[in-house]
Structure 1
Amino acid sequence: MTVLALALVPALLWRRGHPLMTALAGWSVAGLLSVFQLTAHAGDLGLYSMMAVLILLYSLVRWGSGREMVLGTAFVAVVVALGIYASSAGRADAFGGSVLLLLFVALAAVFRYRADLWHRQQREIRNRERVALARELHDTVAHHVSAIAVQAQAGGVVAGLQPEKAAEVLAAIESEASRTLAEMRSMVRVLREEEAVAYSPQRGVADLPALARAGVTPTVEVALYGSLSRLALPVDTALYRLAQESLTNAVRHARGATRVRIDVRREGDAVRLRVSDDGQTGPGPAPEPGFGLQGMAERAQLLGGSFCAGPGPEGGWVVEAVLPVEA
């Protein structure tokens, strides 16, 4: 009997990939041993010789599907009942054996639940990362594409009035397109590579002056006030992204705007960002709905700050965000 029980050991190799098949095979052998014991009136064979079937029962509950668990546990219950009857076990032995089997089932269920919980947490983390990356892609691509569109519109006018400056416009469009592709490739590499990859650092408040521009319409002015050099990295990055997205919206949607101003001011333990333009307010074609304002509000709220956007008291459109220095 021990040799027959040892023949089940190879089934342990396939218990994860085929939990139902291996459990049925193992417990079928246990059932045959019970039938042999019943017909031959043999003595107690001993549970120690069939420990492999307990491992197969554990594997069935741990890795089997719902249907496999129902079919497998029903078959095991029949085999166990047959074994108890064949061995003429008393109530104490029958109760002890049943408790042992239930212990293996409960142990497998606990580990299955913990594994499912871990996978759900990983999926939630990946979902949060995808939302964050989607926001970053939107902020980056929308800003650069808007700049390309403005340069292209200006190029159409310049080409007719000052053909010699058309090359400068085309060079600016090429530069913006190259920067857009480079930043998109960096994010895609982060998504595709399992190991850490080197990509350009996140931009912050110190990079805001690069958004300023003169000689085009609308002009962009950037002003920084107070100590802004020791901000938490998430806050520093968020301020740049909020300013960048606000500038993009002003360039795309502000009617007749000639100037956009970006002000960042340190106020105690908080930093205030204000982006305003002098565009026209009132009735007019509504801009296409997008995720810009929603993304900016979510970004500010995640850092424990506040966000508001609307018409300014002196006309134009004003975006204000207040973020804590320490996120």
Structure 2
Amino acid sequence: MRELRRSWPIAIVLVLALGAQVLVLEAEPLYGRQLVALGLAALACVAALCAHRPVVATVCVCASVLVTTTLICGPGRAVFLDTAGVNGIDGFDLAPGRLGIAESVAVLVLVAMVVRTARPPVVVGVVGAVALVCAHATLLRVGLHSWFTEGGTRVVVLLWVLSVGYGVLLRTRDGERAAAATSAVERVRQDERLDLARELHDVVAHYVTGMLVQAQAAFVVSDRDREAARHALPGIITSGTDAVGAMRRLVGTLRDSAAGTATDDLAADLAVLVDGARAAGVPVRARIELPAPVPPELGRSVLRLVQESLTNAAKHARGATLVEVDVELTPTAVRVSVADDGTGRPAHSGGFGLVGMRERVELLRGRFHAGAARTGWLVTAELPLAVHR
């Protein structure tokens, strides 16, 4: 049914062809065989609409043309016997070409649609069968001599070439659309994989890093101060619980793309993030100036940028005594800055944190910078509001 609904333009063309055929026959009273032949032409038009089933459609169209030829020429002549026609030896009850409009349109539509949709072996079989039936009908109805002398050959060949060419054109366009759709689906999947990778890195790795930092600190002081090492355990448990919660939220996001994709209160979420970093031992000082609400999707990216920057500071900023976090809302953008005064650490290379942050900002048409400052490391980003308004 879906294929039939898509074929309504073709159905209109076939109906118009049948209507034109009826107008041609309206000048004279219709005989019984003429009515039957007109019905057979209608059957051929209906079969042409079912070209998505090429074998059945081809059988119906060929049978319609063959039976119509038999009605016009008589059973004997239809099998090339030297006998009288249906109206005697001198003529036919149906004039040559009387039903040619509807039959011809049905045949051309069938050929074009089969070339468009069927497999190459099926296309060859259908085109060959229809060509043989049409050649048989033309030879008997018009006569071989008349067909060549009246220029019918050129017309028929041209119509067949146009039909096959149109089918090839449609087949090519369908292939291009399918390739474009496949490419689009692959791009979406790639974006989803990248987004998942960012979330795993930005969220889960953040909490795991906090656990490692606290565990390392507890290990260092465990020999000389067991009580201090014991006090680090609740922080590790809290970070582990947060990591499990983040994983569950991430799984929920995968099951429902509308869940967990945004933050409704960026200032509160940033405050929780900073408090968690302080609890993990990162010396953070934050200045958050958000006098107006930030679009939730944009706020999510801001939160992830700050989160990843604090994670990097905890992992790489050796000897840091201060990590400054500045988040400011301007009339046109949200500005983020995370700077530390750590020294003697390797550059942020070889990981995916900076790559993910840069990708996030570039997708939002913003500006991003990360690099060594006069003291420590500096990450800045500017995310425009216009994209989310």
Question: Could you tell me the TM-score, scaled by structure 2's length?
Answer: 0.63
Q: Which residue of 1 aligns with 2:132?
A: 82
Q: Which residue of 2 aligns with 1:209?
A: 271
Q: Flag the 1:206–1:97 CA change in 2: closer, same or farther, 3 A.
A: same
1:237 matches 2:313: no
Q: Deviations over 1:239-264 (max 9, x none)?
A: 21111111111111112212211112
Q: Which residue of 1 aligns with 2:287?
A: 223
Structure 1 residue 324 displacement after superposition: 1.9
Q: Which residue of 2 aligns with 1:250?
A: 313
Same amino acid, percent of matched pairs:
31
Q: Which residue of 1 aligns with 2:213?
A: 150
Does the residue aligned with 2:368 lie in a helix, a strand or coil? strand
AA in 2 matched with 1:308: H
Structure 1 residue 163 displacement after superposition: 2.8
Q: Is contact 1:212-1:220 (8 Å) kept?
A: yes
Q: Which residue of 2 aligns with 1:270?
A: 333
Q: Flag the 1:204–1:52 CA change in 2: closer, same or farther, 3 A.
A: farther
Q: Is contact 1:143-1:248 (8 Å) kept?
A: yes
Q: Flag the 1:205–1:306 CA change in 2: closer, same or farther, 3 A.
A: farther
Match of residue 293, structure 1, among 354, 359, 369:
354
Structure 1 residue 149 displacement after superposition: 0.7
- Distance in structure 1 (CA, Å) of the matches to 2:244 and 2:111: 53
- Distance in structure 1 (CA, Å) of the matches to 2:384 and 2:108: 60
Q: Which has the higher contact order (CA 8 A, sep 6+)?
A: 1
Does the residue aligned with 2:198 lie in a helix, a strand or coil? helix
Q: Is contact 1:300-1:321 (8 Å) kept?
A: yes
Q: Is contact 1:34-1:83 (8 Å) kept?
A: yes
- Distance in structure 2 (CA, Å) of the matches to 1:52 and 1:197: 51
Query: Structure 2: any 5+ residue segments left out of the alignment?
Result: 1-36, 70-76, 86-95, 140-146
Q: Is contact 1:26-1:53 (8 Å) kept?
A: no
AA in 1 matched with 2:302: L
Give the stretch that moved more between structures: 31-40 or 255-264: 31-40
AA in 1 matched with 2:283: T
Match of residue 178, structure 1, among 241, 255, 261:
241
Q: Deviations over 1:161-196 (max 9, x none)?
A: 3333444422222221222222223223333x3x66
Q: Which residue of 2 aligns with 1:19?
A: none
Q: Deviations over 1:182-219 (max 9, x none)?
A: 2223223333x3x6675585373432122334476431
In our comparison, the structure showing a higher alpha carbon Rg is: 2
Match of residue 309, structure 1, among 350, 364, 370:
370
Q: Flag the 1:161–1:23 CA change in 2: closer, same or farther, 3 A.
A: same
- Distance in structure 2 (CA, Å) of the matches to 1:326 and 1:206: 23
Query: Structure 1: any 5+ residue segments left out of the alignment?
Result: 16-21
Give the stretch that moved more between structures: 32-41 or 139-148: 32-41
Structure 1 residue 107 displacement after superposition: 4.8
1:40 matches 2:79: yes
What are the residue-to-residue correspondences of 1:97-176 with 2, within 5 Å?
Answer: 99=162, 103=166, 106-107=169-170, 110-111=173-174, 113-176=176-239
